[in-house]
């Protein structure tokens, strides 16, 4: 196995900035664009439990008014500079992601710094943003996959901060006041809690200066330590059906607790998962789609965060195929856990993972995001840089053991979005040793 002509990619440049902020820079000049990320080491997990959506709302408020500029003027200025800006929230981080045409990067950094340094948090704008956010949450219920993912998250991690919806709930957003937003800003949107990323068409001489201007715009403040506890698994097999009328199809997610990036068997599990459901020729895809045509897609993923996250399997068969598809995928899962993976499968998938690594690092923005993940999620320092070596070291034995250790089919949650009258009873019959089945309306939060 080899990656001929593979280039050794140096890690992004790191700059320690005043006040404890960290900056990462990844240069590239193939296209005149600059990506800028202002990320915080805190996300939805630090929100008060009754104010789900606060982290996202507080950071979105930064573009709703600053010294000398209204929300409308800020929006217009961002566009006129050939820039775009969005907020992304997860349990462990909330980040502003921006991209700008390279010739305007200075003017954009001036604007960004002004927004970070002098937000005015106008009451009228906060109320408007809350109404906008609630409307977006209501609208997202039209998307069955989104309904399934939210139901899975809140049920699998019930009572744990990872069970909160990072996008917020209608009740949580409505409960947020101006004081909450300002308190979040003062506590978390501060130098010591910030990791600033720049990638693209900026010289190595200018990048630190741009990062410093952004960092200095933030209030002084300390890094927030993560006190989120490890999630625990709920014993037994459970079915949650989100009942939605007139579905011709079902969205099926089957999940257990998965892996932590610090587990010794983390990479072996990732390799075993790729065999099971990570590619187009994986076991799941072959059995569900290629042989039976039951679902357009079939995949399995191991999610990564600071604490142990979920392992999730996804299919979306027609309503009449939901029960047989559920039974088949659970059988496949159990065979995967009980019998493991073969040496031939591991050799094949290792070739895929090693050779396709070129596409994990083919743009400056991707390389920057890997480095940001390491910082923000506390991943092992060599998580990405030594990925290829770690994959090559996996054997069929270590991969099979990792699956047996981490994946527990007897403690699993199945979430289905579908029409209960049509699919509930067949699904009950398809899941052996089911502890309980519950039905909720699809718009439950």
> Which residues form the interface with another protein (CB under 8 A)?
3-7, 28, 30-33, 71-72, 75-76, 78-84, 99-101, 128, 131-132, 135-136, 138-139, 141-144, 244-249, 279-281, 286, 289-296, 316-318, 348, 351-352, 354-359, 361-363, 365, 443
Per-residue buried b or exposed e for 127-137, using 16+ beta carbons within 10 Å of the residue's own CB: eebbeebbeeb
> How far is the C-alpha of 316 from the C-alpha of 35, rounded, in Å?
35
Instruction: Report how far apart, in Å, the C-alpha atoms of 308 and of each of 57, 253, 263, 290, 314 are.
Output: 26, 18, 9, 32, 19
**What is the smallest separation between the CB atom of 202 and another protein, expressed in angstroms?**
15
Q: Which is nearer to another protein, 22 or 36 (CB)?
A: 36
**What is the smallest separation between the CB atom of 2 and another protein, expressed in angstroms?**
9
Q: Which is nearer to another protein, 241 or 337 (CB)?
A: 241
Residues 99, 32: contact at Cβ < 8 Å?
no
Q: Which is nearer to another protein, 237 or 283 (CB)?
A: 283
Residue 203 φ then ψ, to 5°: -75, 160
Q: Which is nearer to another protein, 144 or 305 (CB)?
A: 144
Q: Which is nearer to another protein, 237 or 289 (CB)?
A: 289
Instruction: Provide the phi-psi class of 11: left if phi over 0, else alpha when psi is between -120 and 50, else beta.
Output: beta
**What is the smallest separation between the CB atom of 186 and another protein, expressed in angstroms?**
26
Residues 241, 414: contact at Cβ < 8 Å?
no
**What is the smallest separation between the CB atom of 337 and another protein, expressed in angstroms?**
23
**What is the smallest separation between the CB atom of 33 and another protein, expressed in angstroms?**
5
Q: Which is nearer to another protein, 259 or 295 (CB)?
A: 295
Q: Which is nearer to another protein, 60 or 164 (CB)?
A: 60
**What is the smallest separation between the CB atom of 227 and another protein, expressed in angstroms?**
35
Q: Which is nearer to another protein, 100 or 114 (CB)?
A: 100
**What is the smallest separation between the CB atom of 243 and another protein, expressed in angstroms?**
11
Q: Which is nearer to another protein, 50 or 132 (CB)?
A: 132
Q: Which is nearer to another protein, 244 or 266 (CB)?
A: 244
39's tokens: 């990320």
**What is the smallest separation between the CB atom of 7 and another protein, expressed in angstroms?**
6
> How far is the C-alpha of 53 from the C-alpha of 62, rounded, in Å?
15
**What is the smallest separation between the CB atom of 238 and another protein, expressed in angstroms?**
24
Residues 264, 407: contact at Cβ < 8 Å?
no
The angle subtended at Cα 407 by Cα 401 and Cα 409, nearest 5°, is 125
**What is the smallest separation between the CB atom of 430 and another protein, expressed in angstroms?**
18
């Amino acid at each position: 196995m080899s990656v001929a002509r593979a280039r050794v990619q140096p890690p992004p440049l790191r700059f320690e900035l005043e006040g404890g902020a960290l900056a990462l820079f990844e240069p590239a000049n193939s296209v005149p664009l600059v990506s800028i990320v202002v990320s915080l080491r805190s996300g939805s997990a630090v929100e008060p439990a009754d104010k789900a959506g606060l982290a996202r709302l507080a950071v979105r408020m930064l573009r709703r008014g600053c010294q000398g500029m209204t929300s409308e003027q800020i929006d217009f200025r961002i566009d006129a500079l050939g820039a775009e800006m969005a907020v992304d929230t997860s349990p462990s981080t909330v980040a502003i992601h921006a991209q700008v045409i390279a010739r305007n990067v200075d003017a954009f950094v001036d604007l960004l710094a002004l927004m970070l340094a002098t937000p005015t948090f106008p009451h009228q704008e906060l109320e408007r943003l809350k109404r906008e956010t609630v409307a977006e949450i209501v609208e997202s219920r039209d998307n069955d996959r989104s309904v399934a993912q939210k139901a899975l998250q809140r049920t699998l991690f019930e009572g744990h901060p990872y069970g909160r919806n990072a996008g917020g709930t209608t009740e949580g957003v409505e409960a947020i006041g101006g004081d909450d937003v300002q308190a979040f800003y003062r506590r978390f949107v501060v130098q010591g809690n910030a990791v600033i990323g720049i990638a693209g068409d900026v010289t190595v001489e200018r990048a630190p200066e741009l990062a410093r201007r952004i960092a200095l715009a933030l209030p002084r403040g300390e890094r927030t330590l993560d006190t989120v506890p490890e999630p625990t698994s709920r014993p037994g097999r459970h079915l949650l059906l989100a009942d939605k009328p007139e579905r011709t199809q079902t969205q099926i997610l089957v999940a257990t607790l998965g892996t932590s990036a610090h587990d010794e068997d983390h990479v072996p599990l990732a390799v075993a998962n790729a065999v099971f459901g990570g590619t187009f020729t994986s076991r799941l895809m072959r059995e569900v789609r290629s042989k039976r045509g039951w679902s357009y897609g079939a995949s399995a993923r191991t999610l990564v965060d600071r604490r142990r996250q979920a392992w999730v399997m996804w299919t979306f068969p027609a309503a009449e195929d939901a029960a047989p598809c559920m039974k088949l995928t659970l059988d496949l899962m159990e065979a995967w856990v009980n019998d493991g993976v073969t040496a031939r499968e591991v050799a094949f998938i290792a070739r895929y993972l090693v050779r396709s690594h070129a596409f994990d690092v083919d743009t400056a923005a991707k390389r920057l995001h890997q480095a940001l993940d390491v910082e923000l999620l506390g991943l092992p320092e060599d998580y990405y840089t030594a990925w290829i070596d770690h994959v090559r070291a996996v054997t069929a034995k270590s991969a099979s053991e990792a699956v047996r250790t981490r994946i527990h089919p007897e403690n699993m949650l199945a979430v289905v979005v579908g029409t209960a009258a049509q699919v509930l009873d067949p699904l009950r019959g398809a899941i052996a040793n089911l502890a309980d089945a519950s039905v909720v309306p699809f718009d439950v939060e």
